[in-house]
Chains A and B, each alone.
Chain A
Amino acid sequence: MDYLYSGNVLVVDLQKGETRESILDEELIESKLGGAAVNLELFKQYESMDPVVIGSGLFTSTMIPGSAMSVVTTRSPTADRIMHSPIVNFMGAELKLAGFDFIVVHGHSPKPVYLWLHDEIADLLPADEIWGQDTWKTVDYIREEQGEERIQVLSIGPAGEKGGSIAQAVVNYWSEGDKIGLGKRLGDMRLKAICTRGMGELELADPASFLALCLPAMEDARTKLVDSQGIEGLMPNMDLKNFNEVRHRNSACFGCPWPCRTFAKYNESPAVLKEAHTEPGMQIIDAPGFAALLSEGFDAIEASRLMETSSRIGVEPVGVSPMLKGLTYQEAKSRIVEMGSSQTNVSSVPTIKGACRSDLFSPFAPNGGEEHTLALAYVLGICPRYAVKTGLDRTRVSQFIKACTDLEVEPATLEDIERSVLV
């Protein structure tokens, strides 16, 4: 593949402790484009090995608005079916820039390991020193060990190691898109973390045409997103209680015009702008998780702190919330910490009001939408929240595909690809 992909598929056999690269099938990209659609094809190839497949979308890591996402496709242990889960923040983009378009992981490692991806190199490294540690310590360890502050880390906490289906795989320090039990899957594999730093580059077919499409697309995004920021922009009807006492800055994932995340700064004044406290608070990316904790009676500061504890232990906060009913803050915190020392299970993927096709896509986007928009977002690598908020114009998508890759893909073909995901 000449454009937007480096052309490498990585296969990781954890049982043997081996990594192997293969060439990305160009015909597969021409017919399925990328993301969830290609992941499904790779999943079928390795189905007997019950793999975890991680793939970047066709547009991931470009200047196209919202192109922050890579996609995990695997058998959800809670739903017991194949599901897709987003990886956003900066990790979705960095995975692609590390030189591996798609990654297939299978088997069970005899010893805890982590996977370090950088510059078209894949290293399986011992995780003995971080096995048993929470996700925050895991991220700090890996960044220190590999000497890069911008390394992106998908990791599990003690809950994932114990193998409970409540476990969540966390991106860097924050609860994010995994609501399908990926944390349990990685724990069962004894894969503590997947981390990456993207030092590569992506080429495109027609740079001038691309820019001519990209600038008006960004202007459209600005218009549609005006006055919509932070977690209340994502969930306008959420009662945030006393959140203003800890509200810090809104921020965006890689390349996204919609800053739908809000930082809660509770260990120092939220008015502090300089680098000060080393662990000042919690990034609320998982607004549905935060809302679930608020609905159990915790105030915004308590809920923010419980989000931190959930992220550290590596548990999915929407599923956790009902287990905290009637508890004080301290009791609730202790209950979550206990989930790191015993196996805690949930019987289903959490129900999030507004989430579309939560039987197929991790319910990361609480802002509605319809299934074809989500399917196309998961193919292209556009954040589903952003895609739902602004819509995806298929004519414009076709034009972007042409400018980026020289492929002629009509809107009707896009719909066929969407249908292949909506199984």
Chain B
Amino acid sequence: MINNESIINTNAVRWMTMNIDTLKCTGCGLCELACSYRRDKVFTTMRSSIMLHLDDKRNYFGVMVKLPNDDLILGRPEGIDIQRSGESKDEEGTGAKPILLREACDECGDEEPHCVRICPPRCLSVVK
């Protein structure tokens, strides 16, 4: 298990300057739209590098982010974890476009990440 503090000190994700406070997440999925807006100036849930994981029957929700090396950051209610490229595919997301088929997160280049700017409960933030 990698906690919120250690994620920015882990080699695999050192480039990453975003933090995820998973228990603040309300599962609204706006981060997906914000990402598609930034990439293509459209609203869709199919192109985002950040993806809501939602098991509504269990009330289990969080986000996952695709990194440039194909690792995934899994922001789950019980904490943050890293799924290495090629490991279990359980968290890829089902259906039309699993996250591993999408573009990796580039943190919106020089801008403040759009998902961070729009996230209503501010569960996403930039680590200064």
Q: Which residues of A contact B (CB under 8 A)?
A: 61-63, 65, 89-90, 97, 119, 136, 147-150, 172-173, 197-204, 207, 211, 214-215, 218, 221-222, 248-257, 259, 263, 265, 273-281, 283
With a cutoff of 8 Å between Cβ atoms, the chain A residues found around residue B56 in the complex are 89, 172-173, 283
Q: Is A147's CB under 8 angstroms from B95's CB?
A: yes
Number of interface residues of B (CB under 8 A): 38
Q: Is B118's CB under 8 angstroms from A173's CB?
A: no
Q: Is A259's CB under 8 angstroms from B118's CB?
A: no
Q: Is B43's CB under 8 angstroms from A254's CB?
A: no
How far is B98's CA from A147's CA once the two chains are assembled, in angstroms? 12
A199-B96, A201-B42 given as contacts; is B58 within 8 A of A250 (CB)? no
With a cutoff of 8 Å between Cβ atoms, the chain A residues found around residue B117 in the complex are 215
Q: Is B95's CB under 8 angstroms from A218's CB?
A: no
Q: Is A215's CB under 8 angstroms from B118's CB?
A: yes
With a cutoff of 8 Å between Cβ atoms, the chain B residues found around residue A147 in the complex are 94-95
Q: Is A255's CB under 8 angstroms from B36's CB?
A: no
Q: Which of A62, A119, A255, A278 has the most CB of B within 10 A?
A: A255
Q: Is B46's CB under 8 angstroms from A62's CB?
A: no
A197-B96, A273-B77 given as contacts; is B37 within 8 A of A211 (CB)? yes
Q: Is B36's CB under 8 angstroms from A197's CB?
A: no
Q: Is B105 an interface residue (CB 8 A)?
A: no
Complex partner residue of A251 from B27, B36, B42, B97, CB under 8 angstroms = B27
How far is B45's CA from A148's CA once the two chains are assembled, in angstroms? 14
A-B contact pairs, 12 of them (CB 8 A): A61-B43, A62-B33, A63-B118, A149-B94, A207-B41, A222-B120, A249-B77, A251-B26, A251-B27, A265-B59, A274-B60, A274-B76
Q: Is B120's CB under 8 angstroms from A252's CB?
A: yes
A149-B55, A172-B56, A248-B59 given as contacts; is B44 within 8 A of A257 (CB)? no
With a cutoff of 8 Å between Cβ atoms, the chain A residues found around residue B82 in the complex are none
Q: Is B94's CB under 8 angstroms from A148's CB?
A: yes
Complex partner residue of B78 from A222, A254, A273, CB under 8 angstroms = A273
Q: Is B118's CB under 8 angstroms from A218's CB?
A: yes
* Nearest-CB residue, chain B, relative to A201: B44
With a cutoff of 8 Å between Cβ atoms, the chain A residues found around residue B118 in the complex are 63, 214-215, 218
Give me the 3 closest cross-chain CB pairs, A-B, nearest first: A257-B120, A201-B44, A148-B95
Q: Is B26's CB under 8 angstroms from A250's CB?
A: yes
Q: Is A63's CB under 8 angstroms from B34's CB?
A: yes
Q: Is B30 an interface residue (CB 8 A)?
A: yes
Complex partner residue of A249 from B42, B44, B59, CB under 8 angstroms = B59
How far is B44's CA from A202's CA once the two chains are assembled, in angstroms? 7
Complex partner residue of B43 from A62, A90, A263, CB under 8 angstroms = A62
Q: Is B94's CB under 8 angstroms from A198's CB?
A: no
Complex partner residue of A63 from B33, B59, B97, CB under 8 angstroms = B33
Q: Which of A215, A275, A278 has the most CB of B within 10 A?
A: A275
With a cutoff of 8 Å between Cβ atoms, the chain B residues found around residue A253 in the complex are 28
* Nearest-CB residue, chain B, relative to A404: B43
How far is B58's CA from A3's CA once the two chains are assembled, in angstroms? 36
With a cutoff of 8 Å between Cβ atoms, the chain A residues found around residue B78 in the complex are 273-274
How far is B30's CA from A90's CA once the two chains are assembled, in angstroms? 11
Q: Is B8 an interface residue (CB 8 A)?
A: no
How far is the CB of B2 from the nearest CB of chain A, in Å? 16
Q: Is B18 an interface residue (CB 8 A)?
A: no
With a cutoff of 8 Å between Cβ atoms, the chain B residues found around residue A275 in the complex are 55, 58, 60
Q: Is B54's CB under 8 angstroms from A150's CB?
A: yes
How far is the CB of A254 from the nearest CB of chain B, in Å? 5
Complex partner residue of A97 from B23, B45, B55, B60, CB under 8 angstroms = B45
Q: Apart from A119-B96, A199-B44, A255-B28, what are 4 other A-B pairs with CB-CB below 8 Å?
A: A63-B34, A201-B44, A254-B28, A273-B78
How far is B59's CA from A281's CA once the two chains are assembled, in angstroms? 9
Q: Is B26's CB under 8 angstroms from A252's CB?
A: yes
With a cutoff of 8 Å between Cβ atoms, the chain A residues found around residue B57 in the complex are 136, 172-173, 278-279
* Nearest-CB residue, chain A, relative to B95: A148
How far is B94's CA from A256's CA once the two chains are assembled, in angstroms? 23
With a cutoff of 8 Å between Cβ atoms, the chain A residues found around residue B28 in the complex are 251-257, 259
How far is the CB of A16 from the nearest CB of chain B, in Å? 30
How far is B120's CA from A257's CA once the two chains are assembled, in angstroms? 5
How far is B64's CA from A323's CA once the two chains are assembled, in angstroms? 45
Q: Is A201's CB under 8 angstroms from B120's CB?
A: no
How far is B47's CA from A371's CA once the two chains are assembled, in angstroms? 38
How far is the CB of A277 from the nearest CB of chain B, in Å? 7
Q: Is B44's CB under 8 angstroms from A200's CB?
A: yes
With a cutoff of 8 Å between Cβ atoms, the chain A residues found around residue B54 in the complex are 90, 149-150
With a cutoff of 8 Å between Cβ atoms, the chain B residues found around residue A281 in the complex are 59
Q: Which of B56, B121, B122 has the most CB of A within 10 A?
A: B56
With a cutoff of 8 Å between Cβ atoms, the chain A residues found around residue B122 in the complex are 222
Q: Is B94's CB under 8 angstroms from A199's CB?
A: no
Q: Is A280's CB under 8 angstroms from B59's CB?
A: yes
